[in-house]
């Protein structure tokens, strides 16, 4: 299936969105719940799988949906098609603070491996598959580094990175040790391994987990400073129902029994 060639503009600084311009008949595929706005005249169609192609019948659609389910994504994607006679625009928003990365798959060799929750949207024709890393047992303990998404095609795809984005071009044999959650994407020529930290004390008390991602060049890698899993764990730990204090970090009264309640009231908490 031919890829749609779309124009785009990324807007914003920390809470970004990408505005995609569609010529008549062109379409973009968006992750479920990512659409921000669209011009009247754009049709929406929710489909099984990635919406890249309709060939293969029911089995092909179920296979595509199953791949998305394995990566923890929704079974469905939404296809936005320009049904008008003039150019129209549709925008897709990032789910949390960070950067949207435009990926020209044709320039990247037709394939990109990315974190399973980083895909935002793409031109119609880009397919989404799965990439399994390492052995099953090591992968499960490695967290985010086990099951990743594989984007294939020669069109534009847009990936979201949390926090600040870092791009690195690795030379042949050059190795980078990265927290598994901080890996956003890499080109397929990069050798990806999940490596044990090595010291039990470091693993248990260092706060970095049992495994690192070992990336060896040549190739291009994209890293994020704030994985969503890290953000979510901090929010959950601070929530009152999870045993968090529910007061500001600067509250003097936050850690003194009954004074904690007073501290919460003074700090603006109404619970």
pLDDT tens series, the chain, 271 aa: 456 788 999 999 889 999 999 999 999 999 888 999 999 999 999 876 655 654 455 555 555 555 555 555 556 789 999 999 999 999 999 999 999 999 999 999 999 999 988 999 999 989 888 877 655 444 555 455 467 889 999 999 999 999 999 999 999 999 999 988 899 999 999 999 888 766 666 555 555 556 788 999 999 999 999 988 887 878 888 887 655 555 444 444 444 444 444 344 444 444 4
Number of folded domains in the chain?
Answer: 1
Q: Is residue 257 part of a domain?
A: no
| Contact yes or no for 160/99 (Cβ under 8 A) | yes
- C-alpha dist (Å) from residue 143 to 149, 166, 202: 14, 21, 17
Tokens representing residue 149 in the block: 């998404």
Residue 159 in any domain: the answer is yes
Query: Which bin fits 128, alpha (ψ -120 to 50), beta or left (φ > 0)?
Result: beta
Q: Kindly state whether residue 12 falls inside one of the protein's structural domains.
A: yes
Residue 118 located in a structural domain = yes
Report whether 222 contacts 166 (CB < 8 A): yes
**Structural domain boundaries enclosing 154:** 7-231
- The reply to whether 242 falls in a domain is no
3-state secondary structure (DSSP) of residue 232: helix
**Residue 112's domain is classified under what CATH number?**
3.60.160.10
Q: Is residue 260 part of a domain?
A: no
Residue 181 lies in a domain: yes
């Amino acid at each position: 299936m031919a890829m749609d060639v779309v124009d785009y503009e990324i807007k914003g600084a920390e809470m970004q969105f990408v505005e995609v311009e569609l010529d008549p008949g062109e379409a973009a595929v968006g992750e479920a719940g990512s659409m921000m706005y669209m011009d009247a005249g754009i049709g929406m169609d929710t489909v099984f799988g990635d919406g890249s192609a309709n060939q293969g019948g029911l089995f092909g659609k179920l296979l595509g949906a199953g791949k998305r389910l394995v990566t923890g994504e929704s079974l469905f994607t939404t296809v936005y098609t320009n049904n008008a006679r003039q150019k129209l625009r549709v925008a897709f928003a990032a789910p949390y603070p960070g950067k949207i990365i435009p990926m020209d798959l044709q320039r990247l060799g037709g394939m990109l491996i990315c974190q399973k929750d980083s895909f935002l949207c793409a031109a119609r024709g880009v397919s989404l598959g799965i990439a399994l890393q390492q052995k099953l047992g090591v992968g499960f303990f490695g967290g985010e580094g086990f099951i990743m998404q594989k984007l294939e095609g020669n069109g534009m795809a847009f990936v979201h990175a949390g926090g600040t984005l870092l791009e690195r071009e690795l030379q042949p044999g050059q190795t980078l040790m990265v927290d598994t959650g901080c890996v956003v994407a890499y080109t397929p020529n990069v050798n990806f391994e999940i490596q044990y930290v090595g010291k039990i004390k470091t693993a248990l008390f260092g706060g970095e987990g049992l495994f690192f991602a070992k990336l060896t060049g040549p190739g291009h890698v994209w890293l994020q400073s704030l994985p969503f899993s890290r953000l979510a764990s901090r929010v959950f730990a601070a929530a009152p129902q999870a045993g968090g204090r529910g007061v500001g970090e600067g509250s003097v009264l936050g850690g003194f029994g009954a004074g904690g309640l007073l501290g919460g009231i003074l700090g603006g908490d109404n619970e």
